[in-house]
Amino acid sequence: MIAFEIHFSEDAMNYFQESCKYMPGGVNSPVRAFGSVGGEPVFVDRAKGSKIYDVNGKEYIDYVCSWGPMILGHTDEDVLKAIKDAAEKGASFGAPTVNELNMTKLITEMVPSVEMVRLVSSGTEALMSAIRLARAYTKRDTIVKFEGCYHGHSDSLLVKAGSGLLTFNQPSSPGVPEDFAKHTLIAQYNDIDSVRALFKENKDKIACVLVEPAAGNMGLVLPEKGFLESLKNLCSEEGALLLFDEVITGFRMSAGGAQKYYNVQPDITTLGKIIGGGLPVGAYGARKEIMEMISPVGAVYQAGTLSGNPLATAAGLATLKKLNQPGFYEALKAKSDILWNGFGENCKKLGLKYAFNSVESLGCMFFTDGEVKSFAQAVKSDTKKYAAFFHAMLKRGVNLAPAQFECMFVSAAHTDEDLAKTIAAHYDSLKEIG
Ligand SMILES: *Cc1c(COP(=O)(O)O)cnc(C)c1O
């Protein structure tokens, strides 16, 4: 191995160009590359509270929040201390620790449908494992997902609807065998009849229906009244499991996630993002009878060298404890509402009728008129306009997701001053882009 260090003068350095030589697209996760908004990504040096700072020291009010995890804001003192203390004691042992007990116990107390949990290292891993569990439990192979919902990048889930509405789905990425794709059926969000039709065509074959209980990966699309309840009823009539992918909504919409917020209990729940407090963690949980099918109690194999990692559980536990304090979500909602109302006022003043969806601290403005209640309506958005808006906001020191079909995340660290600045930047940006 040749040891080397790259040395450039500050001025000559272009981190992104240089990164593109060593990482595909210069990044380790595609959306970070600014592909859908153009330009070059901000290289982050550090963060504190509601702010991130780039390598040149420029400050931005951050509404990406690492795509959701940083609900307390960045470098929260208690989380930081928990990580430091854990690091002092050892980064990883590959043996049980007390914090894994503390954390899993707290999760079962907070999330209504979850009696037992398995910790993993990412949302993708949680979904992949949860599907295996659902298939084992029901002894069926087929799964149903909704167009526009994202459940990580495992083979079975990178599938898009084919042209024949009820059959012939296609892999949405090269490298996914068609043989895998054929086990994944695609339904339409907020359209219970599309799910009913799939059950009818595939009698006794469907293991589970996966859904983001509030969909945060096609912008933000909220479930219409009765949609989740109908899914629940349909699944139990058909002997399938209902899987809520709460990787975004878990500990975001309430201390008990979307299932508590909407009062609908799924059979299996997947968690991620917030649960790691910024470190890599995922989890899946269910009632005991289902979870005890997992190895070593049951025969469904799933393992992980770094699962329940001490630093990650320390960060996660410190985060969950703060969220579980009375009044946390009320305060976060009050802040978020200031922002959402401010955006609404701005649009009114400017005579714009863009669709805007929000729930608690999640929000998304779509550059399309009218309502967005479906994937088809979401994708009508003018993504070029979003790109212009994104850059106009960034220029004014507000960091939004570099893509239209993502959420804004408000954190407990956002101050009244941040909110006021953001609302002003929103007005000026919309005015600028016309
Ligand atoms: C982010 C996300 C995932 C994947 O989680 P990773 O930790 O990125 O693997 C799964 N489901 C939903 C709803 C997500 O938003």
Percentages helix, strand, coil for the chain (3-state, rounded to 5) are 40, 20, 40
Interatomic CA distance for residues 431 and 213, integer angstroms: 34
For residue 171, list its beta bridge partners: 159
In the prediction, which pLDDT does 12 show?
A: 52
Instruction: Give the position, in ligand 1's atom list, of the atom nearest the Cα of 273.
Output: 7
Instruction: Report DSSP state, residue 42.
Output: P
The answer to whether the beta carbons of residues 156 and 321 sit under 8 Å apart is no
In the prediction, which pLDDT does 180 show?
A: 87
Give me ligand 1 centre to Cα 150, in Å. Answer: 7
Interatomic CA distance for residues 45 and 65, integer angstroms: 14
In the prediction, which pLDDT does 1 show?
A: 44
Q: What is the DSSP string of 263-317?
A: T---SEEEE-GGGGTTSS-EEEEE-HHHHTTBTTTSSB----TTTT-HHHHHHHH
pLDDT averaged over 10-residue windows placed end to end, the chain, 434 residues: 50 82 95 93 96 96 98 98 98 97 98 98 98 98 96 92 62 89 95 98 98 97 98 98 98 98 98 98 98 98 97 98 97 98 98 97 96 96 97 97 97 98 98 93
Interatomic CA distance for residues 359 and 337, integer angstroms: 9
What are the pLDDT digits (tens) for 219-231? 999 999 999 999 9
Active-site residue identified among 62, 76, 191, 245: 245
Burial letters for 200-218: b for 16+ Cβ neighbours within 10 Å, e otherwise? eebeebbbbbbbbbbbbbb
Identify the CA nearest to 135 among candidates 283, 287, 245, 293: 293
Ligand 1 pocket list (CB less than 6 A): 122-124, 127, 150-152, 212, 216-217, 245, 247-248, 272, 282
The pTM of this model reads 0.95
Token pair 């929103």: residue: 426
In the prediction, which pLDDT does 434 show?
A: 85
In the prediction, which pLDDT does 166 show?
A: 46
Angle between helices 328-350 and 310-323 (to 10 degrees): 80
Structure tokens at 67: 């795509």
Active-site residue identified among 63, 150, 261, 262: 150
Give me ligand 1 centre to Cα 8, in Å. Answer: 36
In the prediction, which pLDDT does 163 show?
A: 58
Q: In this structure, how many other beta carbons lie within 10 angstroms of the beta carbon of residue 56? A: 9
Interatomic CA distance for residues 381 and 388, integer angstroms: 13
Interatomic CA distance for residues 215 and 258, integer angstroms: 11
State percent of the chain over pLDDT 90.
91
What are the pLDDT digits (tens) for 156-194? 999 887 655 445 678 889 999 988 899 999 999 999 999
Interatomic CA distance for residues 433 and 389, integer angstroms: 7
